[in-house]
Structure 1
Amino acid sequence: MKPNYSLDDMRLFWLVAQAGSFRQAAEQEGVPPSTLSRRINALEQTLGLRLLHRDAHRINLTGTGRQYFERFGPLFNELDDISGDLHAEKHEPAGTLRVAVPVNTMYRWLATALNQFQLRYPKIDLDIRMSNWVIDVGEQAIDLAIRVGEPALQGWIARPLTRVQSLLCASSRAVQWHQITHPSELVQYPLVVSSPINVWRFEHQHSEQQFEYRPQGNVRLTVDDMNIAMQAVAAGVGIGYLPRRVVLEHMQQGELMALAPDWLGPLRKTYLLYRDRDNQPLRLRLLIEHLLQVAPAEY
């Protein structure tokens, strides 16, 4: 049988029964006592049952009213708990965030940034999913994702975070490769590929001419970890196309050398991705603000 009474009226009855007073319940709800009395009268008329005995000074539950109060009480207690939890989501820095990030981003700067964040907000827990491949952020219930390159996620907000620029490099000991002046010459040399970057794009720093090279045939190593790729390049396995910030320290130490320095990869933006700009839990908003503040201009 479909109920034809108002659940909100039932909740008002529950408030009055808890308080034992129309006045106290009215103060708690922020409505006049007469409104409460009228609403509960309407509920009793709809049910065809009396729920309260009233006199000039107090109220008492009828047998039916007590039965309803005991049956509905746990429901409204749970609803109050849920409302409290939802309020905390919006206003308290606590709870768990699930974050999807590229592996190299995590190694280069993000791990330190996230450690700082958790030390600042000890009640916020992080569940990190590291992958260089595009994962299904909806299926995995991701709250915040970081992606390199123009994102293609419908319904997600994309905020520019930092930038990445790649270059050709080789081991300083591999002098036989140092004479390369144009990316088209790569067809003659062994290569190390860091997936998922399987197309090497270049821009000439003066003429702005563009060039694309797709490694194939002469690939000695393909690996989905940029640090492993860099180690292989430094060891002399082959020539690599790697982010400038990743190899800069090793170039300064004399382990790596830039090739065809007039040809660099285009600057690619890294984006923060999340679903909702306005109705965010506080923990997500705080993490977004933190990352936008501490992210390096380039990595």
Structure 2
Amino acid sequence: MKAITDLNDLRLFAEVVEHGSYTAAARSLGLQTSKLSRRIRALEEELGVRLLNRTSRSLSLTETGRQFHQHCLALVAEAKAAKDIVDRTRSTPQGTVRISCPVALLESGISTIIARYVADNPHVQVVLDATNRRVDVVEEGLDFAIRVRLPPLENTDLAVRQLCVSIHILVASPELAARYPAPRSIDSLKEWPTLSMASSGERFVWNLVDGEGRATSWAHQPRLATDDLASLRVAAMAGVGVAMLPREQVETDIAAGRLQQLLPGLTSTPGLVHAIFPTRRGMVPAVRHLLDALVAGFEGPDRRP
């Protein structure tokens, strides 16, 4: 037997049986009685069997109709259960949220925000891909990816929500700083060993701005270059060289005396930490509330966790 072309007809059939007449069922469904009757007749013709015995005063099920009705009830119950799941998902945070985030951003406070969110929402599971590679949120089935980029952000068909601003500062270990005169300008660092993020062109440049927004660029040859900010932080604390690292990543080290800031009047151009996701339409609470938690976690006068 071929598949029924309109499964709604099974629900209509179940309603007719439940109410015992076309008139009562049509009134409950908000349909015209004649239209409902035509739909049931079309269903019988499509199936090639009679489901109902009709008289001028009553309806009764044929034996085939009785068995068919049991399956219709099961189908209606499953459809209701499926809708209930969607309704619950839309009303309270639950289900799985799949996200991607660079390792350094996780270490700068995002992992703490996510852990707190999961603890506060026991019906939510977060699947986190900690990676520095550029991901495709649509192709990889992610709910959102966290990125940091210099403004202006690139044009995209995806939705974007800004989380905070990230600023890089120059830091060195106290032991390294003790070996050189205190720097008064970026050129004063020319004798200092440096560390840097990896560069495909093998040209390493720090782009900095002062307190009045004046930009300056400084080329250097680092002793260590890597695309892993965590490794740069470790090398800086070991006294290998000066590094330019996210302020939120090293503020605890500065407070503890493991690192110290150099040339505090110079910082990187602020980068925008943002979440990128397929669309705002139909966003389930688990995803929306996690994004809200990330924004709230970065709120404050200095925009960091």
CA displacement, residues 190-233 of structure 1 (integer Å, 9 cap, x when unaligned): 222356897532113336133154x54x323536142x422321
Cross-structure match for 1:284: 287
Cross-structure match for 2:179: 176
What CA distance in whole angstroms lies between the structure 2 residues aligned with 1:208 and 1:268? 16
Cross-structure match for 1:21: 20
> Aligned-pair distance for 1:61?
2.2
Q: Report if aligned partners of 1:101, 1:147 keep a CA contact under 8 Å in 2.
A: yes
> Aligned-pair distance for 1:68?
4.2
From 194, 199, 223, the equivalent of 1:191 is 194
* Structure 1 residue ranges without an equivalent (≥5): none
The amino acid of 1:268's aligned partner reads G
Which shows bigger deviation, 92-101 or 26-35?
26-35
Q: Report if aligned partners of 1:170, 1:234 keep a CA contact under 8 Å in 2.
A: yes
Q: Report if aligned partners of 1:158, 1:272 keep a CA contact under 8 Å in 2.
A: yes
Cross-structure match for 2:249: 246
Q: Report if aligned partners of 1:245, 1:298 keep a CA contact under 8 Å in 2.
A: yes
How many residue pairs were aligned? 295
What CA distance in whole angstroms lies between the structure 2 residues aligned with 1:55 and 1:189? 100
What CA distance in whole angstroms lies between the structure 2 residues aligned with 1:47 and 1:70? 16
Cross-structure match for 1:206: 212
Report the CA distance shift for 1:7/1:206 in structure 2 as closer, same or farther (over 3 A). closer
Which shows bigger deviation, 233-242 or 117-126?
117-126
Aligned pairs (5 A) from 1:126-145: 126-145=126-145
Report the CA distance shift for 1:160/1:7 in structure 2 as closer, same or farther (over 3 A). same
Aligned: 1:98 with 2:98: yes
From 224, 235, 242, the equivalent of 1:232 is 235
The amino acid of 1:267's aligned partner reads P
The amino acid of 1:124's aligned partner reads V
> Aligned-pair distance for 1:121?
2.2
Question: What is the SS of the residue equivalent to 1:168?
Answer: strand
Question: What is the SS of the residue equivalent to 1:261?
Answer: coil
> Aligned-pair distance for 1:118?
2.5
> Aligned-pair distance for 1:158?
1.1
Would you identify which runs of 4 or more consecutive aligned residues in structure 1 move more than 6 Å? Answer: 1-4
Cross-structure match for 2:164: 162
Cross-structure match for 2:273: 270
CA displacement, residues 243-276 of structure 1 (integer Å, 9 cap, x when unaligned): 2233233334433232233321111111122222
Cross-structure match for 1:61: 61
What CA distance in whole angstroms lies between the structure 1 residues aligned with 2:11 and 2:89? 24
The amino acid of 1:263's aligned partner reads L
Which TM-score applies when normalising by structure 2?
Answer: 0.79
Question: What is the SS of the residue equivalent to 1:83?
Answer: helix
Report the CA distance shift for 1:229/1:6 in structure 2 as closer, same or farther (over 3 A). closer
* Structure 2 residue ranges without an equivalent (≥5): none
What CA distance in whole angstroms lies between the structure 2 residues aligned with 1:205 and 1:75? 67
Cross-structure match for 2:39: 39
Report the CA distance shift for 1:99/1:35 in structure 2 as closer, same or farther (over 3 A). same
Which shows bigger deviation, 70-79 or 203-212?
70-79
> Aligned-pair distance for 1:43?
3.1
> Aligned-pair distance for 1:56?
6.3
> Aligned-pair distance for 1:281?
1.2
The amino acid of 1:254's aligned partner reads G
> Aligned-pair distance for 1:117?
2.1
From 241, 254, 260, the equivalent of 2:263 is 260
CA displacement, residues 155-204 of structure 1 (integer Å, 9 cap, x when unaligned): 22111111111121211122234444444565644222356897532113
